[in-house]
Structure 1
Amino acid sequence: MATNRNTLGKGLGKGLGKGLGKGLGSLIPEDISGDNIVIKEVVKEIIVKEPSEMKLKISAIEPNREQPRRFFDEDALIELSESIKQYGVLQPLLVQKKNDYFEIIAGERRWRAAKLAGIKEVPVIIKDYTSQQVMEIALIENIQREDLNPIEEALAYQRLIKDYRLKQDEVAEKVSKSRAAIANSMRLLKLDERVQQMVMEDMISNGHARALLIIEDGDKQYLIAQKIFDEKLSVRETEKLMKEINKPEKVKPAKPMNDFVYRDLEEKINKIMGTKVSIKNKKEKGKIEIEYYSREELERIIEMIESIQ
Structure 2
Amino acid sequence: MRDSIDERLKLDQNAQVNEIEIQKIKANPYQPRKTFDQARLKDLAESIQLHGILQPIVLRKTIAGYNIVVGERRYRASKIAGLTHIPAIIKELTDEDMMELAVIENLQREDLNAIEEAESYKKLMEDLKLTQQDIATRLSKSRPYIANMLRLLQLPKEVTGMVKDGKLSGAHGRTLLAIKDKQKVKKIAHQASRESWSVRSLEQYVNTCNDGKTKQSTSSQPASKPKFIQQQERQLKEQYGANVMISTKHKKGQITFEFKSEAEFKRLIHQLNEKYKEE
The TM-score with structure 2 as length reference comes to 0.69
Deviations 1:99-144 (A, max 9, x none): 1211111211111111111112111111121111100001100000
Map 1:231-270 onto structure 2 (within 5 A): 231-248=195-212
Query: 1:118, 1:110 → 2: CA distance?
Result: 12
Partner of 1:200: 164
Does 1:225 pair with 2:175? no
Q: 1:161 aligns with which of 120, 125, 131?
A: 125
For 1:199, give the aligned amino acid. V
2:109 match: 145
Residue 65 of structure 2 corresponds to residue 124 of structure 1: no
Q: For 1:142 and 1:166, how far apart are their aligned partners in 2?
A: 19
Structure 1 consecutive aligned stretches of length 4 or more whose deviation exceeds 4 Å: none
Report the CA distance between 1:80 and its aligned residue: 1.2
- Structure 2 segments unaligned to the other structure (5+ residues): 1-10, 215-279
Q: Does 1:181 align with 2:145?
A: yes
Conservation of the 8 A alpha-carbon contact between 1:93 and 1:124: yes
The separation in 1 between residues aligned to 2:157 and 2:18, in whole angstroms, is 42
| Partner-residue secondary structure (3-state), 2:88 | strand
Which SS does the other structure have where 2:44 is aligned? helix
- SS state of the match for residue 32, structure 2? coil
Which residue of structure 2 aligns with residue 80 of structure 1? Answer: 44
Q: Partners of 1:118 and 1:107 in 2: how far apart?
A: 17
Q: Secondary structure at the match of 2:87?
A: strand
Structure 1 stretches lacking a partner, 5+ long: 1-46, 251-309
Name the amino acid aligned to 1:148.
L
1:56 and 2:3 correspond: no
Q: Aligned AA for 1:136?
A: E
**Which structure carries more relative contact order (alpha carbon 8 Å, separation 6+)?**
2
What are the superposed Cα offsets for residues 165-197 of structure 1, whole Å, 9 maximum, x if unpaired?
111111112111111111111111111111011
- Secondary structure at 1:71's aligned position in 2? coil
Q: Is 2:34 the counterpart of 1:70?
A: yes
Please give the secondary structure, in 2, of the residue aligned with 1:123.
Answer: strand
**Partner amino acid for 1:246?**
N
TM-score by length of 1: 0.63
C-alpha separation in 2, matches of 1:202 and 1:222: 15
1:106 paired with 2:65, answer: no
Offset at 1:51? 4.3
> 2: distance between equivalents of 1:116 and 1:217?
45
Q: How many residues align structurally?
A: 203
Is the CA contact (8 Å cut-off) linking 1:96 and 1:105 kept in structure 2?
yes
- Give yes or no for contact 1:51–1:127 (8 Å, CA) kept in 2: no
What SS does the corresponding residue of 1:248 show, helix, strand or coil?
Answer: coil
**Which entry has the higher C-alpha Rg, 1 or 2?**
1
Aligned pairs for 1:270-289 (under 5 A) are none
User: What secondary structure, in the 3-state scheme, does the structure 1 residue paired with 2:118 have?
Assistant: helix
Take 1:82 and 1:223, find their aligned partners in 2: how far apart are those partners? 42
**Aligned amino acid, residue 120 of structure 2:** A
Cα separation, 2, equivalents of 1:139 and 1:178: 16
Q: Distance in 1 between matches of 2:66 and 2:15?
A: 15
Kept after mapping to 2: 8 A contact 1:188/1:213: yes
Name the residue aligned to 2:56.
Answer: 92
Give the distance between the partners of 2:83 and 2:205, measured in 1 at CA: 50
The whole-number CA distance in structure 1 between the counterparts of 2:128 and 2:186 is 32
Q: Distance in 1 between matches of 2:201 and 2:145?
A: 24
Task: Output the CA distance in 1 between the equivalents of 2:89 and 2:138.
Answer: 22
Contact 1:53 1:123 in 2 (8 A): yes
How far is 1:248 from its partner? 3.2
Measure, in 1, the Cα distance between the counterparts of 2:49 and 2:180: 49
